[in-house]
Structure 1
């Protein structure tokens, strides 16, 4: 075999191995009920935090455990066990994308993407004013 063939073969193998790391991120969005049907498979569930139940987080006892309840798009509520520290401003977020696995009676989450609230949601007059002055595009 020529050196170029070996190099191309190694490059192809490296590409396949590299892509395998991203397979988990190529999941479809589920609800808690469909995630339950796919028990043991990595899924993403779009939810909102259930504010009627307090978030359980104790940085002294276990800084890598956060327990809370979330409601999915169909209104189904589930306990969520997040295996990391509580994310900042979780209570203020408009939505949470939970990545993980459905277990017996709860959703085991290892990654959360919080949807930030719009800074103009509460004051549409200020939003119009900022757009008119052009300051909305300044960061």
Structure 2
């Protein structure tokens, strides 16, 4: 009977350790100012910033510069506080990038520029209901 209790305690301890280690990897969205502060304090994990792309009055996205080889690009992004920041991304422009409602960038500051490792998009077409057709 005691061996069962000891085994149960060990299993519970392992589960708690796994939960705590995964919770340390969880990230919340921060502004560019908070991301800069974290980077200056030596925060080494990826930082998530959510925002949107700046647009003209007619809705055209501005501030995107693609590299000549089209293998990387940089763009401007407005965080939730309205702060504009240039972001570098060492991959080609994602499909529907300019159509996205919101952009989440995952990365860190390197100097005065934010370098994104990943870009996550929220596109309006994915969340709109399809019209029902009746015959």
SS of equivalent to 1:34 = helix
Q: CA deviation at 1:116?
A: 0.8
Q: Counterparts in 2 of 1:59-138, with a 5 A limit? A: 60=69, 63=71, 65-118=72-125, 130=131, 135=132
Deviations 1:55-107, CA, capped at 9 Å, x for gaps? 3243x26x1x2211100000000010112221011111101000010222111
Give unpaired runs (5+ residues) of structure 2. 1-9, 55-60
The TM-score, its normalising length taken from structure 2, stands at: 0.67
Asked whether the equivalents of residues 99 and 112 of structure 1 are also in contact (C-alpha less than 8 Å), the reply is: yes
* RMSD value, Cα: 3.4
2:41 equivalent to 1:34: no
- Structure 1 unaligned segments of length 5 or more: list them: 1-8, 122-126
Contact 1:36–1:103, Cα closer than 8 Å, also in 2: no
Task: Kindly tell me the number of residue pairs found equivalent between the two proteins.
Answer: 122
TM-score of the aligned structures, taking structure 1 as reference length:
0.65
Say if 1:99 and 1:111, in contact at 8 Å, map to a contact too. Answer: yes
